[in-house]
Amino acid sequence: MKIFLSLIILLLIFPSASFSGNYKFQKLVDLKNPWGSSFINNNELIVTEKSGKIKVVNINSKKVSEIEHNLNFLEYGQGGLLDIIYKDNLIWISYTENRGNLKTSTSIAKAKLNKKELEFKNIFQAEPPIDSSYHFGSRLAIKGDYLYASAGERGKGMIAQDPTKHPGSIIRIHLDGSIPKDNPKFGGKSNWLPEIYQIGIRNPQGLTLSPFDGKIYLSNHGAKGGDWFGEAKKGENYGWKILGWGGENYSGIPIGPKWKPGFTKAIQYWVPSIAASAITIYKGDEFKEWNGHALITSLKDQSLRKLKFNDLTNVKEEIIFKNEIGRLRDIQIHPNNGKIYFLAEDSLWLMEKS
């Protein structure tokens, strides 16, 4: 009876928490500060470590091998090797490029997949290079012949409102680095840099293509509060640092309103901050009841959150787990069976039904 009453009390206090317990975890391999990952086949993930290593992990044998590369990177504060994505025997990577004198940029390079050595060639550099160790972003998503990337505002606040500079924006280029002729610059935003798709973003560490509606979604890591999940919208502005999205400066000084007309409105906000990280729109068989729902990983509260957002007037959030495997940096869905793989702070984990 006491156990039952305790459970009722917990449900009343934490109505969104999940107590289903219908999943289990398995730690696959140890890694060092992993950041991005992508399936290159049904058995292998390619993984970046922020400190500069690129590794291939066999999820069945648990064998880990390292790939040499030629990137001119700098591990600097929050920067280093960031996201990585695979398609058709090609690899794209976002990383902190060393531009000299501690000036760096969130850059993107491309290479043909070779498990021994990757010969990368830059296809994008965020301009201008900045001496800052903060807010690089950065995630990658592919939609057809388009590569979307998120570039953080490097801790420079209102630079995110300047469309003549890349930091604080969503980038949209072709897979070869060329510029799409239907980007905002060519449709009424003549003062925008040609690669910019959307502005007004702080530190976007999640980006994904929905296999259901074909839209690009992103998550943003706010200041002291003000994390959000929303849609990437052509030519629009999420408002940083005019808007605070419900958060405030670390000094305690207010930033601005949560939202106001004229700016893109996020689908979901988190105040206080959860430190939103990588995201995906689930599609698979393992947790088929989640199909079409957004999965949001977090660093600060080490949680996986699920959003049902088909009705934007009634978004439903559920905490799937919290404080189970540490800070969650990345999430990948197995392309065949729908099992879920997480990069935590020092390891790769498998989540499946129990």
Domains and CATH numbers, the chain: 18-353 (2.120.10.30)
Residue 168 makes CB contacts below 8 A (sequence gap 6+) with 151, 152, 153, 154, 156, 159, 160, 161, 162, 199, 200, 201, 202, 240
Helices (H), the chain: 2-13
Q: Within its chain, how far is the Cα of 253 from the centroid?
A: 27
pLDDT above 50 for 8: no
Binned at pLDDT 50, 70 and 90, residue 251 comes out as confident
Give tens-digit pLDDT for 191-220: 999 999 999 999 999 999 999 999 999 999
Three-state DSSP at 340 gives: strand
* Beta-strand runs (E) in 113-235: 117-118, 121-125, 137-143, 146-151, 169-174, 196-199, 206-209, 216-220, 227-231
Q: Report, in angstroms and rounded to the nearest whole number, the Rg of the chain calculated over CA atoms.
A: 20
With b meaning 16 or more CB within 10 Å and e meaning fewer, what string describes 212-250? eeeebbbbbbbbbbbbbbbbbeebbbbbbbbbbbbbbee
> What pLDDT does residue 250 have?
87
Tokens of 346: 């020092």
Q: What is the mean pLDDT of the chain?
A: 94
Binned at pLDDT 50, 70 and 90, residue 12 comes out as very low
> What pLDDT does residue 3 have?
45
- The arithmetic mean of pLDDT across residues 303-327, rounded, is 97
Binned at pLDDT 50, 70 and 90, residue 47 comes out as very high
Residue 186 makes CB contacts below 8 A (sequence gap 6+) with 194
Give tens-digit pLDDT for 262-298: 999 999 999 999 999 999 999 999 999 999 999 999 9
